[in-house]
Amino acid sequence: MSQLDNPLAIYKLLPKSNCKLCGLATCLAFAAAVIKGDKRLDECLHLESNIIEELNRNIVRQPTPEEQLMQILEPLKREFASIDFAASVKRLGATLSGDKLTIKILGKDFTVDSEGNIISDCHIIVWVMVPLLNYIIYSVGNELSGKWVPFRELSKETVWGSYFEHKFEKPLKQLTDTHPDLIEDMICIFGGKQVENSFSSDISLVLHPLPKVPMLICYTKPEEDLESKLNVFFDSSAEDNLNIDSLYRLCVGLLMMFQKITSRHIRS
Ligand code: SF4
C-alpha cells in the first residue's frame, strides 16, 4: 500500500456511508481529521482491526500548527548570532538588561538572550515565541503613523484576511459577548488603555502586543435584535515592524491567552 498522506487517500478506504457514528458529519471530514491527528482510525466503527493496523502503518500525519511553528523556531534562533542588541533597543522599543533584551508584550516583560531563548513570568507559547523572534530580527522600527487600518488592508494576500477574521476577530467577539469582563481584564491585566470611542463603537481600547505594533479593539455591545460588533485595527505601519503571518500568529496566541483568563474566571 502506498503512503496515505492526504484526506482523499484515506477517504477512498472508508465505508463512505456518512453514518456519523465517529462523531463527524461525513467520512471525508473524518479522513481530514485522521490526517491532522484529531481522530484515530479505530473511531470509525466499521473498519476491521486488521485493516486499521495496515492503514496505520501507512498514514503520514500532517504536523499540527504548533509542530510547524516549532520547526520555524530553531532557524530563527540561529539568526540571533548576528543581531547587535545594544543597537536594536530604539528600533524595537525594548530595554537592555546586561546582554539581554526585554520587550513588553501586552505590558508583560519577555526577556530574550543572544541565542533567542525567551524568559518570562508569563506562560510562553509558540504562537507568541515565533512572532517575538521575528519582530526582533526583522522589525524595521518605523515610527507609528497614527492611522488605524483593518488587518485586510495590511496585506494584498486575501487568505490572511480570511484567517484573521475566522481565527481571531470572530472568536474574540464571541468571547467578549460571553465574558464582558474580558474588556476590563484587557485594561487591568494586559495594560490596555481605553481611548476615545472610534469607528462608532461603544468601547475602544488600545493594546500593545508588541511595542511598535499597537492594536485598536472596537466593541459595540449587543442591543435588542442587534448583534454585537467587534473590529480590530492596526497602525498602518504594522507590516514594517512585523510580517503579516507573524502578526496573524501573534493574534491567535493572544486569543489563547484571553481564553485562558476567561476560563479561570469560570472556575473561580
Ligand atoms: S463512522 Fe466511519 S463510516 Fe461512519 S461517518 Fe465516520 S468515517 Fe464514515
Listed in sequence order, the residues at least 6 apart from 85 whose beta carbon sits closer than 8 Å to its beta carbon are 96, 99, 100, 101, 114
How high does pLDDT run on average in the chain?
91
Note the pLDDT tens digit of each residue in 224-235.
Answer: 889 999 999 999
Note the pLDDT tens digit of each residue in 212-225.
Answer: 999 999 999 998 88
Contact present, 238 and 134 (Cβ < 8 Å): no
Of the candidates 206, 234, 204, 233, the residue with the CA atom closest to the CA atom of residue 219:
204
Q: Is the pLDDT of residue 156 over 80?
A: no
CA distance 116 to 93: 17
Task: Tell me, using a 6 A CB cutoff, whether residue 110 lines ligand 1.
Answer: no
Set of cell numbers at residue 9: 487517500
Note the pLDDT tens digit of each residue in 103-143.
Answer: 999 999 999 999 999 999 988 999 999 999 999 999 999 99
Going by alpha carbons, the residue nearest to atom 7 of ligand 1 is 27
The full length of the chain comes to: 268
Task: Tell me, using a 6 A CB cutoff, whether residue 14 lines ligand 1.
Answer: yes
> Which value, in Å, is the radius of gyration of the alpha carbons in the chain?
22
- Rounded to the nearest whole angstrom, what is the distance from the C-alpha of residue 49 to the centroid of ligand 1? 15
Give the count of alpha carbons within 13 A of 186, CB side only: 27
pLDDT-wise least confident of 107-111, 186-190, 248-252:
186-190
Pocket residue to mutate for ligand 1, from 8, 28, 30, most atoms within 8 A of Cβ: 30
pLDDT interval class at 5 (50, 70, 90) = confident
Higher pLDDT, 41 or 60: 41
Alpha helices (H) along the chain: 7-11, 27-36, 49-58, 65-78, 85-92, 126-138, 158-164, 170-178, 181-188, 238-241, 244-267
pLDDT confidence of residue 54: 86
Query: Between 170-178 and 244-267, two packed helices, what is the crossing angle to 10 degrees?
Result: 20
Contact present, 106 and 92 (Cβ < 8 Å): no
Contact present, 206 and 213 (Cβ < 8 Å): no
The pLDDT of 140-165, averaged and rounded, is 89
- Rounded to the nearest whole angstrom, what is the distance from the C-alpha of residue 33 to the centroid of ligand 1? 12
Q: Is the pLDDT of residue 260 over 90?
A: no
Task: Calculate the CA 220 to chain-centre distance.
Answer: 23
Q: Which residue has the cell 496585506?
A: 155
pLDDT interval class at 37 (50, 70, 90) = confident
Which atom number of ligand 1 is nearest to the Cα of residue 19?
4
CA distance 204 to 219: 6
Which atom number of ligand 1 is nearest to the Cα of residue 47?
2
Note the pLDDT tens digit of each residue in 49-75.
Answer: 988 998 888 888 878 888 889 999 999
- Rounded to the nearest whole angstrom, what is the distance from the C-alpha of residue 27 to the centroid of ligand 1? 5
- Rounded to the nearest whole angstrom, what is the distance from the C-alpha of residue 25 to the centroid of ligand 1? 8
pLDDT confidence of residue 157: 72
154 φ, ψ to 5°? -85, -25
pLDDT confidence of residue 267: 55
Name the residue ranges covered by the structural domains of the chain: 7-58, 65-138, 148-267
Task: Tell me, using a 6 A CB cutoff, whether residue 57 lines ligand 1.
Answer: no
Task: Tell me, using a 6 A CB cutoff, whether residue 18 lines ligand 1.
Answer: yes
Q: Is the pLDDT of residue 266 over 70?
A: no
Task: Tell me, using a 6 A CB cutoff, whether residue 46 lines ligand 1.
Answer: yes
CATH number for region 7-58: 1.10.15.40
Set of cell numbers at residue 139: 522589525
Task: Tell me, using a 6 A CB cutoff, whether residue 30 lines ligand 1.
Answer: yes
What residues pair up with 103 in beta bridges, in sequence order?
110
Q: Is the pLDDT of residue 268 over 60?
A: no
pLDDT confidence of residue 159: 81
pLDDT interval class at 148 (50, 70, 90) = very high
Q: Is the pLDDT of residue 46 over 70?
A: yes
